[in-house]
Chain A
Amino acid sequence: MVFTSHIFVFYFLPLTLAVYYLLPDRTGPRNAWLLVASYVFYGWWNPWFTALMLAVTAINHAGGTVIARPGAAERSRKAALVLAVASSLGLLVFFKYAGFLQVNLNHLLGAFGADGVRVWSIVLPVGISFYVFQALSYTVDVYRREAPPARTFADFACYIALFPQMIAGPIVRYGSVALALRERHCGVSLFASGTVLFMLGFAKKVLLANPIGGAADAAFGAAAPGAGVAWAGVVAYALQIYFDFSGYSDMAVGLGRMFGFEFIKNFDAPYRADSIADFWRRWHISLSTFLRDYLYIPLGGNRRGPVRTYANLAIVMLLGGLWHGANWTFVAWGAYHGILLIAERAAGRAPAWRALPRPLRVAATFVLVLGSWVWFRAETLADAAAYFTAMAGCGVPADARSAVLAAQVFEPGRLVPMAVAGLLLISRRQAHEWSAAVTWPKALVAFAVFLVALAAMAAQAFNPFLYFQF
């Protein structure tokens, strides 16, 4: 089920909220109801997907139980950890990367003149990367004694399946909601801040990301884009992915508040970053902090000298890229960011860079990030290379078709939302904080844009979120 769909907004959400608040004000029955609702939400895509999520839940709950057993020997704790992590990652690798590995194996075999293996056609369960990471965070945190074990299986299953953030994050650590799973209350103020944040996120997605996405689709799908169209296309994609994903995160956090949870803020004005390292402190914060705490620091972080630090950065960014999808373009995207991060670290606090006015540093960082989005959005490495060529003005010369392509990219229906999106990027207001205390102007603005967005939703075609594919 998609948040910006008729069935979610007008059926699933009111029913789930109504039953939730009719139940006794205790976490037991309310968690149980949230669990049922979340499985319905997830099973709506494909009922069989729920079996996989249940398996990941059971594996990690069992692992956590063994690890947290009073008096458990370190050896058995470690064995349970390894088993839970390996089987969870094994499922992720199988469902997400098996086909990719087989295709590349066939390329390799073909180079040696050998016959290839049969490539399996495996359906990728939506959100698997997110809920597997959440499950891993639980097992690892319980092993590290940084989080208590779940009170009941139902509580843990509720944490894994919690529908507001299950499909596309933010990746919620168990430790951050463990207390709320045991005890939480939602007053009118918190609920209202949740509704305001949900409404703003909904409008970001429907009124900005969707129409802007049309320009990006036309440019990236073009056989022969010119330089102007190529630049406009990548700027459009940068805006689309930000307003799509941050809109989803706002809706997720808003829904969490409606049920008494407070999830991590996932974006902090990333396009106002003045370096790539700063960008990663602001973009998809729940993933970057996850990779930092569960991969970069265990690898040694920056404590073992510059060479090891660079290697760790490269590993983290390559795996972070691969996490987004089984395609070499995502690996290239990770490598690109890794190289930039290493270059920044090697340069240290270079006085020349710091001497630049901040707006210039922000603009330069934005251009570098635009380059990364080309890798991210292109379907193949060859497409990405062709797109860079077009951006450099060395693509196919303009012909009569250029006007038709320009008409699709530079439509007022795309340009006006892009302009609004640009103004919002410049503005210092962020929905997460803006919605925390609801006042009359905020309530009225949020409600007005929500009504317009609902009307727009009724007139739009199917609009899945970009991050669902990851």
Chain B
Amino acid sequence: MSTHPASRFAVAAFAAVIAGVPVVDGTVDLARRVRPPVADLFTQPPTQANLRATEHAMEEGSAVARAVRPWMLAARFLGLRDGGDKVLRGRGGWLFYRPGAEYLTARPPAGGSMVNDALAAVRGFRDELDARGIRLMVVPVPNKESVYPDRTFRGGRPPAGALAPETAAFLSGCRRAGIPVVDLFAEFRIARAAGAPDLYLATDSHWTPAGLRIAVGEVARHLRAPAGPSAYAVLPAPVRRTGDLVRMLQSPAIEAAVGAEVVACERVVRAESGAPYADDPASDVLVIGDSFLRIYETDEPGGAGFIAHLARALGRPVASLVNDGGGATLVRQDLVRRPRLLEGKRVVVWAFVERDLRLAAEGWPVLALPDLPRRIE
């Protein structure tokens, strides 16, 4: 019986694809004088960890996969509104961080929530600071999804805010322990109800200058900032930002399609000299936290973020320590390594995004601070 030509085509096409990709990858690696990751199979012992690492390197290092991936991601995002594992596409062009959405809706993992660990870490940190005569103020920063749940889906009714059970447990736990905690959830809800401009960026997981100002105002109120004119002034400093959620999609085609946002930042400067805001490590206020402190501060335009605006509200410079994505633990570890930052401090303001209560990669260990001479009043 003769073979149908379509059968020959199916075999040839299939073989060409499955054998062609490694040939192309190998050729590209050789042209770049890079050792193909597959070679690791013959140079390392075949342990489970080595095999996984090699497989991962082969997937990530494949020239064909790297060429195809951005286009496939773009097709999914633009055609099916699918943002993959990281991004949830809301309505009106708004993007959300999928783990933040899951934090709000999903049950805590089987191993249990980290809220108790977080409360223990906060209490431990408070006690360590108390022993040095320093007050702790905790600022859990709401996920964008908690402030704008209605913008994730067309059925949502504005203005609405949502409080994740773990966040609610953390806030009440802090209050029970007598730890000053700034409730930005309530403040943002009130601001939205009052018709405030957008408090978060549409294509980024962080707050806008408007959201940041509300947070600063609330923290400053808790710190009893002095009334009257500040030593600082602000200058308009609009910037164009490609949102972090857009960048997470790892596709230039998506970046081009979504475009950048224009953000009306205000840069803090010395009122007298016009000099840009600068931290003072000797300040009596230390602000520590994650990327919510970094945005507009060390990012463009610079000196326009939470830290600078808090300094303006307080009328004096502050000291700061920022660790992107490490608001729960890494920033405290940084502080342990740089204990002199605590010298002369009266207050530590600790800001971290709420989803760290479940997702903090390093967990919430209780850390001991190195000894310092006690502050002399």
**A interface with B by C-beta (< 8 Å):** 5-7, 9-11, 13-14, 17-18, 43-47, 187-189, 191-193, 195-196, 198-199, 211, 218, 221-224, 379, 399-408, 410-413, 416, 437-440, 442-443, 446-447, 450-451, 454-456, 458-461
Contact = CB atoms under 8 A, between A and B. Distances in A.
Given A223-B165, A403-B150, A458-B65, A438 B72 contact: no
Given A400-B150, A404-B149, A404-B152, A47 B47 contact: yes
Contacts of B85: 461
B294 to A, nearest CB: 26
Nearest to B189: A400
Nearest to B38: A11
Given A211-B82, A411-B82, A401 B69 contact: no
Interface in B22-40: 22, 25, 38
Interface string B31-61: 0000000100000001110010001001100
Interface stretch (B6-14, B134-142, B201-209, B228-236): B6-14
B73 interface: yes
Given A14-B22, A196-B10, A221-B102, A6 B58 contact: yes
A407 B160 contact: no
30 contacts: A6-B62, A14-B18, A14-B19, A46-B48, A191-B7, A191-B11, A218-B106, A222-B106, A223-B165, A403-B149, A403-B152, A404-B101, A404-B149, A407-B153, A411-B80, A411-B82, A413-B80, A438-B7, A440-B9, A443-B10, A446-B10, A447-B13, A450-B14, A450-B17, A454-B17, A458-B62, A459-B72, A459-B76, A461-B84, A461-B85
Given A221-B107, A407-B88, A458-B69, A10 B153 contact: no
Nearest to A448: B13
B48 A6 contact: no
Contacts of B48: 45-47
Contact of A443 (B6, B106, B162): B6
Interface in B56-112: 58-59, 62, 64-65, 68-69, 71-73, 76, 80-85, 88-90, 96, 98, 101-102, 104-107, 110
Contact of B68 (A7, A14, A437, A455): A455
B229 to A, nearest CB: 40
Contacts of B18: 9-10, 13-14
B51 A44 contact: yes
Nearest to A380: B110
A11 B22 CA distance: 7
Nearest to B151: A403
B10 A192 contact: yes
A45 B83 CA distance: 30
A447 B14 contact: yes
Given A192-B7, A411-B82, A451 B150 contact: no
A96 to B, nearest CB: 19
Nearest to B164: A401
Nearest to B73: A459
B131 interface: no
A455 B17 contact: no
Contacts of B13: 443, 447
A468 B47 CA distance: 21
Contact of B6 (A211, A406, A411, A438): A438
B373 interface: no
B145 interface: yes
Given A187-B3, A191-B11, A412-B80, A405 B105 contact: yes
Contacts of B96: 404, 407
Contacts of A6: 55, 58-59, 62, 65
A191 B322 CA distance: 60
Contacts of A218: 102, 105-106
Contact of A192 (B8, B47, B89): B8
B252 interface: no
Given A43-B46, A408-B88, 8 more contacts: A7-B55, A14-B18, A14-B22, A192-B3, A192-B7, A407-B88, A413-B81, A450-B14
Query: Top 5 A-B pairs ranked by shortest CB distance?
Result: A413-B82, A403-B156, A192-B7, A407-B152, A400-B162
Contacts of A408: 88, 98, 101-102, 105
A401 B59 contact: no
Interface residues of B, number: 66
B71 A455 contact: yes
Nearest to B110: A379
**SS class, residues of chain A in contact with chain B:** helix
A15 B179 CA distance: 63
B15 A440 contact: no
B178 interface: no
A404 to B, nearest CB: 5
Contacts of B162: 399-401, 404
Nearest to A223: B107
Q: Which of B6, B8, B85 has the most CB of A within 10 A?
A: B6
Given A45-B48, A188-B3, A440-B6, A14 B15 contact: yes
Given A47-B48, A399-B162, A459-B72, A443 B17 contact: no
Contacts of B3: 187-189, 192
Nearest to A195: B14
B289 interface: no
Interface string B148-172: 0110110110001110110000000
Nearest to B251: A459
Contacts of A442: 6, 10
B21 interface: yes
Contacts of A459: 68-69, 72-73, 76, 84
B255 to A, nearest CB: 16
Nearest to A13: B18
A10 B55 CA distance: 11
Contacts of A379: 110
Contacts of B150: 400, 403
Contacts of B64: 458
A437 B8 CA distance: 12
B176 interface: no
Interface in B287-335: none
A228 B81 CA distance: 21
Contact of B7 (A188, A224, A400): A188
B4 interface: yes
A7 B58 contact: yes
Contacts of A447: 9-10, 13-14
Contacts of A44: 51, 55
B101 A407 contact: yes
B88 to A, nearest CB: 6
A379 B145 CA distance: 26
Contacts of B153: 403-404, 406-407, 410
A211 B82 CA distance: 9
Contact of B10 (A11, A404, A410, A438): A438
A329 to B, nearest CB: 13
B359 to A, nearest CB: 14
A279 B345 CA distance: 71
A401 B7 contact: no
B71 A411 contact: no
A379 B73 CA distance: 32
A47 B82 contact: no
A2 to B, nearest CB: 10
